[in-house]
Chains A and B, each alone.
Chain A
Amino acid sequence: MLAKPLTPLPAVVTGVIDEAPLVKTIYVALRDFPEPAPGQFNMVYARGLGEVPISVSDAFRRGDRLVIAHTVRSVGAVTKHLTTFIEVGSQVGIRGPYGRGWPLEGMEGMDVLIVGGGIGLAPLRPIIRYVEARRDSFGRLFILYGARTPHDLIYKHELGKYTEIPNSVVKVSIDKPYEGWTGYVGFVTDLIDRIDLDPSRTTAYVCGPEVMMKVAVRRLASRGLKADKMFLSLERRMRCGMGVCGTCQFGHYFVCKDGPVFSYDELMNYLWVDGI
Chain B
Amino acid sequence: MIFMMYEGSVRDVGKLLSMLSSLLNLKVVGLKYVNKSFTYGELGSIEELPLSVEDVQAPSSYKLVEEGASARFRHSFPSLKYFLYPPAQEVLYIDKDFGLREAKVDYGNIALFGIKPCDLYSMRVLDGILMNRDPYYTSARSSVKVVVVEECVKPSNVCFCGSVGTGPGVSSGFDVAFARLSNGVVVFKSGSSIGADLLKRLNVKKAGDRTVAEYGEAMGEALKSTKVLPELNALTNALEKSINNVELWNKVSKKCVACSNCNMVCPTCFCTEFFDEAELDGSARRLKKWHGCLSYSYGLVAGGHFRPKLYMRYRHFILHKFLFYPRQVGLIGCVGCGRCITWCPLGVDIRETLWEVFKSVG
Contacts and interface: CB of A to CB of B under 8 A. Distances in A.
Interface of A: 1, 4-8, 10, 47-51, 75-77, 79, 91, 93, 235-237, 239-240, 242-247, 249, 251-252, 254, 269, 272-276
Interface string B300-311: 111100111101
Interface in B154-186: none
A7 B302 contact: no
B61 interface: no
A243 B131 CA distance: 11
Contact of A237 (B94, B300, B308): B300
A237 B130 contact: no
A50 B98 CA distance: 14
Given A6-B102, A7-B100, A252-B327, A49 B278 contact: yes
B129 interface: yes
Secondary structure of the A contact surface, majority rule: loop
B231 interface: no
Contact of B138 (A1, A239, A245): A1
Nearest to A1: B132
B273 A8 contact: no
A244 B130 CA distance: 6
Most chain B CB within 10 A, of A10, A235, A237, is at: A237
Contact of A77 (B270, B272, B302): B302
Nearest to A209: B304
Nearest to B137: A244
B302 A76 contact: yes
B213 interface: no
Nearest to A239: B274
Contacts of B293: 246
Most chain B CB within 10 A, of A244, A251, A254, is at: A244
Contact of B274 (A50, A235, A251, A272): A50
Interface in B239-270: 243-244, 246, 270
A164 B140 CA distance: 56
A79 B244 CA distance: 34
A48 B130 contact: no
Contacts, number: 125
Contact of A276 (B286, B300, B312): B312
17 contacts: A1-B132, A1-B133, A5-B133, A6-B274, A10-B100, A48-B276, A48-B278, A48-B282, A76-B301, A237-B299, A244-B133, A245-B271, A245-B273, A245-B274, A246-B129, A252-B324, A275-B315
Interface string B89-124: 001101000101010000000000000000000000
B320 interface: yes
Given A243-B133, A244-B130, A275-B308, A6 B299 contact: no
A130 B272 CA distance: 36
Nearest to B312: A275
Contacts of A76: 301-303
B135 interface: yes
B351 interface: no
Contacts of A275: 299, 306-309, 311-313, 315
Most chain A CB within 10 A, of B130, B276, B327, is at: B276
B243 A10 contact: no
A235 B357 CA distance: 30
